[in-house]
Amino acid sequence: MDRREFGTFLPALLAGLTITKTADAAELRELVSGGYKRGALKPTPQAGRTSGPILRQGLLKAGNIRLESHFTSIEPGSEHEAVGTHLHSQIWLITEGTLELNINGTAHLLNAGDVGLCVAGDRHYVANAGKTRVSYFVVTVGPPA
């Protein structure tokens, strides 16, 4: 799937995530159309990993869909992140290297140009599956909470 094909799925994904507003939604700012620059990459608590914001958390105009994006790099040999679940869905856009996206115990190997999707509630983790750095953008879409 190329980026254009992926782009055709976004409206359906976003439309399927509508929910009722919560008190937390009132605290998030409304996102506006525009260009967003990547923030400074900083080391994370996990060794061998750096991350930086791109699109800080906010709500789409509908008021009930939270959107956030960041960029992460993982050095080879680093431990994978903790297995987790979220109320939001996550989309990974791989820019370099090989990423293992493990969803509910099934490993998916993604290379530069590939896209991974984990829908809300699925157990998952990501790890560097190669001998070089892996870098990727993450887009999260889900409820305001």
Domains of the chain: residue spans and CATH: 3-142 (2.60.120.10)
| pLDDT score at 117 | 93
**Token code pair at residue 27:** 């605290």
- pLDDT one-digit tens code per residue, 82-107: 898 999 999 999 999 999 999 999 99
Average pLDDT, the chain: 80
- pTM comes to 0.69
| pLDDT score at 21 | 39
At residue 26 the predicted structure's pLDDT band, cuts being 50, 70 and 90, is low
